[in-house]
Amino acid sequence: MNHDEIEQRLRDAALRPQDEAFTGRVLAALPARFSPGLRVAALRGFAAATRFGVVLLLITVAQQWYVSGSGNSETLVVIASFVALVFAATSRLCGSLIPPSVQRLLWRGR
Amino acid sequence: MLIARVLRNDDRQAFGELVRRHQSLVRGFLRRMLGGTPELADDLAQETFIKAHRGLRGFRGGATLAVWLCAIATNELRAEWRRRARRAEFLEEDPSADLPLDVDLGSGRDLAIGLALLPEAQRAALVLCFEHGLTHEEAAAVMGCPLGTLKSHVSRGKARLRDWLAEDRETA
């Protein structure tokens, strides 16, 4: 038996399993997908929670700083400047920390 | 086109079509490599397609999808062999002992047994190049080896298979 015959026998004896049940089985095993609407809502929720967390952290740090400090007006100015700086830097880097809907409310309130 | 649909909308119908088109290659390759354990081969084929779905965004199109899928299947196969070797080491048994050579080997049982007895690299090279019609370059990409090494696997594999078949015929 020469090499060409071996090649031909391999081609003839090829295993080619094909059935619809396997396709169904693979599709059923794929991870559940988010609908586009759900995905957008999840992303918005995550962004809102992150903003809220950052703002809460800033407030907590400022309050702790004020309590542990001398409590005079100079400290208050320093803390306010620090918070304003961090707020501005974070907003510039990650987008506004105040959601647009809240911003609109604030502007309307004025 | 199908890939774009899967990527854009996570279109399951389009992915189903990809599975339909490539399952015979992936499942056939794995069945040969696992020496006739179709259930295990299909489990690994399923895992291959799930990983392909997860990593489809990383498919750059440098290779054909068939080659990319075979490369994932080869990784699954290597992981399975590592698991077998660990289990065999733990149980102190022969890792090839659980390869039932008499189950669903397709047409040409003697050829199937001869293939199953070849070293894994030679078997993979023959199955990819001749059973599934991949080029030498594509088979080398699947196996992650240089082209020269692949050609050597093909040539040695064919020679060993020819000797085994001749021996088998004489015995019969």
Any residues with CB less than 8 A from the CB of B172 and at least 6 apart, and which? Answer: none
pLDDT at B108 (0 to 100): 59
Model confidence band, residue A87 (pLDDT cutoffs 50, 70, 90): confident
Q: What is the CATH number of the domain that holds B160?
A: 1.10.10.10
The pLDDT of residue B104 is above 70: no
Q: Are B115 and B136 within one domain? A: yes
Angle, CA of A77, A78 and A84, to the nearest 5°: 85
Task: Tell me the percentage of chain B whose pLDDT exceeds 90.
Answer: 58
Contacts of B166 in chain A (CB under 8 A): 1
Q: Which of B82, B102, B122 is the last residue of a domain?
A: B102
Query: What whole-number distance in Å separates Cα of residue B102 and Cα of residue B22?
Result: 26
Going by pLDDT thresholds of 50, 70 and 90, the confidence category of residue B31 is: very high
Q: Which residues of A touch B124 (CB under 8 A)?
A: none
- What DSSP letter does each residue of B8-64 carry, written as one string? HH--HHHHHHHHHHHHHHHHHHHHHHTTS-HHHHHHHHHHHHHHHHHHGGG--SSS-
Q: Please report the pLDDT score of residue A64 as a whole number.
A: 85
Q: Find chain A residues with C-beta within 8 A of B46's C-beta.
A: 22, 25-26, 29
Residues B82 and B138 in one domain: no
Interface confidence (ipTM) of the complex: 0.81
How many Cβ atoms from other residues are within 10 Å of residue A96's Cβ?
13
Same-domain status, B118 and B163: yes
**At B142, is the pLDDT very low, low, confident or very high (cuts 50, 70, 90)?**
very high
The reply to whether B28 touches chain A by the CB within 8 Å rule is yes
- pTM assigned to the model: 0.67
Q: Crossing angle, helix B65-91 and helix B12-33, to 10 degrees?
A: 50
**Partner A contacted by B38 (CB < 8 A):** yes
Choose the final residue of a domain: B102, B118, B152: B102
Residue type, A31: P
Q: Is B23 in Cβ contact with A3 (below 8 Å)? A: no
Mutate to test the interface with B, among A4, A7, A9, A15 (most CBs of B within 10 A): A15
Does residue B163 share a domain with residue B119? yes
Q: B121 and B72 in one domain?
A: no
Both tokens of A69, joined, read 């400090």
Range of lowest pLDDT (A33-47, B20-34, B72-86, B133-147): A33-47
Query: What is the SS3 assignment for B4?
Result: helix
pLDDT band at A109 (very low <50, low <70, confident <90, very high): low
Assign B105 a pLDDT band (cuts: 50, 70, 90).
very low
Q: Which residues constitute the domain of residue B145?
A: 104-172
Are A5 and B169 contacting, i.e. CB atoms less than 8 angstroms apart? no
Q: What are phi and psi of B103, to 5 degrees?
A: -110, 125
CB-nearest partner of B19 from A11, A16, A26: A26
Same domain for B86 and B153?
Answer: no
Where is A17: in which H helix or E strand? none
Whether residue B119 sits in one domain with residue B78: no
How many structural domains comprise chain B? 2
pLDDT tens across B38-49, in order? 899 999 999 999
Residue of chain B with shortest Cα separation from A25: B46
Between A24 and B96, where is the model more confident?
A24
Share of chain A above pLDDT 90, in %: 15
Could you say which of B83, B102, B121 is where a domain stops? B102
Same domain (yes/no): B56, B127: no
Asked if B157 contacts B115 with a C-beta cutoff of 8 angstroms, the reply is no
Separation in Å, CA of B20 to nearest CA in chain A? 6
Are B58 and B98 in a shared domain?
Answer: yes
pLDDT of residue B40: 93
Chain A residues in contact with B24 (beta carbon < 8 A): 16-18
Find the distance separating the first CA and the last CA of chain B, reported in whole Å: 52
Q: Are residues B88 and B147 in the same domain?
A: no
Q: Which of residues 55-94 of B touch A (CB under 8 A)?
A: none
Q: Verify that B68 and B5 share a domain, yes or no.
A: yes
**Element of type H or E holding A16:** none
Q: Measured between alpha carbons, how far is B84 from B33 in angstroms, rounded to an integer?
A: 14
Whether residue B98 is predicted with pLDDT greater than 70 in this model: the reply is no
Residues B110 and B143 in one domain: yes
How high is the pLDDT of residue B166?
A: 84
